[in-house]
Structure 1
């Protein structure tokens, strides 16, 4: 997974050095621009859609929040009673998530900075990966799903950027900038193509489209 490792390194550098403040503000109640308001609303709707795929009562369940960011999903999972392993590639975002977590849930959450597929995180009942696979190729996503599935009892709920004309335009324009001057680029995926890579077990859940936030929710069951 050489491509995966290279992309992971670029994503870590971007979120830890360039985008920490942006995401800290976006994932809060702080005022943001109209464009970012649509992204915030879209992410809120997607988080609700993903959580709806899991039981309302997660007492006794162990859940991996793969790419936890500032911890909004982590807090929701803990509030449902889950034991949460919250992993993010960015130590800076992990720090923010830890600081923001309600003290009531501290004993239920283990934070870790690093690779979300690391086997040392253990086994899980559920995995949620919101917007943490959007920078990877279909082959890498399939490899990540298969690797996580070996340690997941129920299913993996995750998001990808859909292959729409709007997102494909941004994907193409992103390639025009020198690599050193641009953030990691989302890779849009057609469901049918991704299904061929992932194999049986992949299913559509739904799509959220809110201004500049367009994302598909999918589920993979081992």
Structure 2
């Protein structure tokens, strides 16, 4: 039986790579209406995180692990602002693209890895738009592992579970189009908050991104 992790790895190394590379590209790369909507939503989530860092004003003093970095949408601006960034992704294609986009060969440091294989200690650990690919049982173990690496802060995003979003998922509107090959899991916010609390974190800040085809709850957990 094929696992969710294998599905995700295969998808983002094959047909999904080109689709999402285009979505995560800048405005000069033309995409269809749905892809443009997802691009806008994803960028809003990234911008929320960058705003949090800017408000804290300590870029140059912290280390960051961006787990599931994709093509570097968050890792690259964090590194450019002065943070020391370690970025990983399960897809070797995504990492190769991220390296191509990087201007500094030493920061971020990129590696191909699944979440459970990551190691080290970082001031902040971030995991955006990854938990949607895994059921709550796997998300629980992933969050536990990510929490073990975070010295002071853990930032997560997930697709929130409610009646409206559950309906969208059922009718196939979450990831529309012929490239839809990954399963999508919605998570109750109460479950994610509980998992953060179980691992020693309390929610300090949160944001919600909602576009037509992209929706994401962003939580910042800080150590108690």
Distance 2:90 2:4 in 1: 11
Residue 176 of structure 2 corresponds to which residue in structure 1? none
Distance 1:143 1:57 in 2: 30
Distance 1:182 1:43 in 2: 17
Residue 10 of structure 1 corresponds to which residue in structure 2? 7
Matched position secondary structure for 1:122: coil
Q: TM-score, normalised by structure 2?
A: 0.85
Residue 36 of structure 1 corresponds to which residue in structure 2? 35
Structure 1 stretch displaced more, 139-148 or 191-200: 191-200
| Structure 2 unmatched runs, 5+ | 173-178
Distance 2:52 2:140 in 1: 20
Mapping for residues 1-222 of structure 1, pairs under 5 Å: 6-29=3-26, 30-54=29-53, 55-102=56-103, 105-119=104-118, 121-173=119-171, 183-200=181-198, 201-203=201-203, 205-222=206-223
Structure 1 residues 182 and 107, CA, compared in 2 at 3 Å: closer, same or farther?
closer
Matched position secondary structure for 1:221: strand
**Total equivalences in the alignment:** 210
Cα deviation, residue 116, structure 1: 2.5
Distance 2:191 2:161 in 1: 10
Distance 2:128 2:99 in 1: 18
Distance 1:196 1:126 in 2: 19
Cα deviation, residue 173, structure 1: 4.3
Structure 1 stretch displaced more, 193-202 or 78-87: 193-202
Q: Write the deviation string for residues 20-68 of structure 1: whole angstroms up to 9, x where unpaired.
A: 1111111112011122111111111110112223334311321111111
CA contact (8 A) 2:90 2:114 kept: yes
| Structure 1 unmatched runs, 5+ | 175-180
Structure 1 residues 153 and 196, CA, compared in 2 at 3 Å: closer, same or farther?
closer
